[in-house]
Chains A and B, each alone.
Chain A
């Protein structure tokens, strides 16, 4: 029983981090129908920012999170302007952007690899290796902090989407772009800002990832499938759905990991992705049915 609770708690902490990693992806897909395969590589870019802030200046990764988020937000704006704005008018937009983001992922991967080499790294503030103990149950401080901060950021994001004017505009654009435009929403600006926020969230997630997981530039390929499984499970484009998907799969994979070994815990996500896509063959990307 204690063992089960232990695994559950670890799964929930990781679930929070996964949720933050994936919700930027979900936001960008919702608003722009861009499946951003470069998202995980940008998370790793964020992780490197926090890693170097810690290694060079001793700045705690939790404190460098806003720096990383801000830098990545700007990178997101630039990427959108350079790469995706032009494609927004193309006929095979959705498919085209997948290839484009794939290529961007290679660029980020290659650039990070060339600068910092493909060795495993981890940011190690004191709490990353410490834990709280409650009887036989232990709570690793790093994962706990990361999970809580992730949840706080996601709550902030949801509140922003729900209650601010820009948030309304973002939700409206993701649900019906043409109608939003007719009602006076500047959809191009909304797309730009949403992309920036999505990538900025990758930066924030990266800071937390830097002390929760070990990372190296090429690791993002593994994360693509992991994050996609969360996003697809939660219903593409829905931030809340993604969060639920993240907690669910993180807990399942924690149990798989505990009973079958760490290798298979990663496999959980890939298999889940396949199964979900199989059960809903139109994919959760499928065109939404007409409302009559």
Chain B
């Protein structure tokens, strides 16, 4: 150092700092720190939201928040399998249905609230996920996607014809004793907790060795396997975690709606939403599914308010999906990150 620095210290310093800046630009953004403040503020606002009921009737706002949180949880869970691992499931609402029926039937037969049994519903969904995943995750690419649709059709036929759970007519669940003003609040908090858990799980997985393995699988499964990753176990584990949270949301959603019926859980639109939310927000990113869920729920609400018919809704959802896939495949978070313009509060990758 002593020899060279004497020649032209300024120039050397310039080059060094330019190189430092360049390297900093190359480094993955993880180094710039997390925006815990924004996350904390959002969480506090969400916790405080039901307080609105003290000053007036904000049931609609509460419902929308609950609905959005449900999809945040579902899209984030889907993302663990579809985004990180690269296994696109178009039948993920099967676990939504299983969760809903497990807790819902316990409520109907024994009167135990789904708020208590939701974790059990999640576990059952995860167990089914392990079983199904062990079979279907052996297929790759388009084959897996088709098998997920077949699974959805099979489960739909089973539930439509299963007398014990009321077949296609479903089961009516007891209505809560709470006053209309407070009736939504327990379910709201339950969804908030599930959404929070799902997002935290998604974040922790992404930054764990497990998550690294999953991402390796999505890039090149054969190489991942030859790198010593037990791909079969990893994939099934991802499937199970993913099914777990989706199952829990199903449990809460059933009691919240006060009835169970195959066509609220097992319609293709629910599965399509999970996929679309992740893609529009940014598949494989932590905050993408959250952004996507907010966008799609808001968009649907706008459509329902202005156009009504669910057929138009399907049409519009499909159209948006085509456009996003063709022209915006990285989604909001992915595109911003690629351009280096991702705001810090969305950067948890």
Assess A/B contact in the complex (Cβ within 8 A).
yes
Contact status B88-A111, CB under 8 Å = no
B141 within 8 A of A: yes
Chain A contact residue count (CB 8 A cutoff)? 48
Instruction: Determine whether the beta carbon of B147 is less than 8 Å from that of A106.
Output: no
Instruction: Decide if B322 touches A263 in the complex (CB within 8 Å).
Output: no
Chain B interfacial residues counted at CB < 8 A: 42
Q: Which residues of B contact A103 (CB under 8 A)?
A: 272, 318-319, 321-322, 325
Which of B145, B318, B326 is in CB contact (< 8 Å) with A109? B318
Q: How far is the CA of A147 from the CA of B319 in the complex (A)?
A: 35
Digit string of B44-80 for contact with A (CB within 8 Å is 1, else 0)? 0000000000000000000000000000000000000
Q: In the complex, what's the smallest C-beta–C-beta distance from A30 to chain B, in angstroms? A: 13
Stretch of A15-23, A91-99, A197-205 on the interface side? A91-99
Min distance, Cβ A221 to any Cβ of chain B, angstroms: 5
One of B1-9, B25-33, B150-158, B332-340 at the interface: B150-158
Within 8 A of B (CB), among A71-123: 83, 86-87, 94-96, 98-100, 102-111, 113-114, 117-118
Of all chain A residues, which has the CB nearest B309?
Answer: A114
Q: Is the pair A285, B141 in contact by a Cβ cutoff of 8 Å?
A: yes
Q: How far apart are B108's CB and chain A's nearest CB, in angstroms?
A: 24
Check if B146 is an interface residue, CB within 8 A of chain A. yes
Which residues of B sit under 8 angstroms from A283, Cβ to Cβ? 139-143
Which A residues lie within 8 Å of B147 (CB)? 273-274, 277
Interface string of B289-322 (1 = CB under 8 A from A): 0000000000000000000011111111111011
Which single residue of chain A is at the shortest CB-CB distance from B137? A281
Q: Chain A 205-248 against B: per-residue CB contact (8 Å), 1 yes, 0 no?
A: 00000000000010001101100110010000000000000000
Give the contacting residue for B146; candidates A221, A263, A271, A273; CB below 8 A: A273
CB distance from A79 to the nearest CB of B (A): 10
Indicate whether B126 reaches chain A with its CB closer than 8 angstroms. Answer: no
Q: State the A residues within 8 Å of B (CB).
A: 35, 37, 83, 86-87, 94-96, 98-100, 102-111, 113-114, 117-118, 217, 221-222, 224-225, 228-229, 232, 263, 266-267, 270-271, 273-274, 277-278, 281-286
28 A–B contact pairs at CB < 8 A?
A: A35-B142, A83-B322, A86-B326, A94-B141, A99-B321, A100-B325, A102-B90, A102-B321, A103-B322, A106-B321, A107-B318, A109-B314, A113-B315, A221-B153, A222-B153, A225-B150, A228-B146, A228-B150, A229-B150, A270-B154, A271-B154, A273-B147, A274-B147, A281-B139, A282-B140, A283-B142, A283-B143, A286-B140
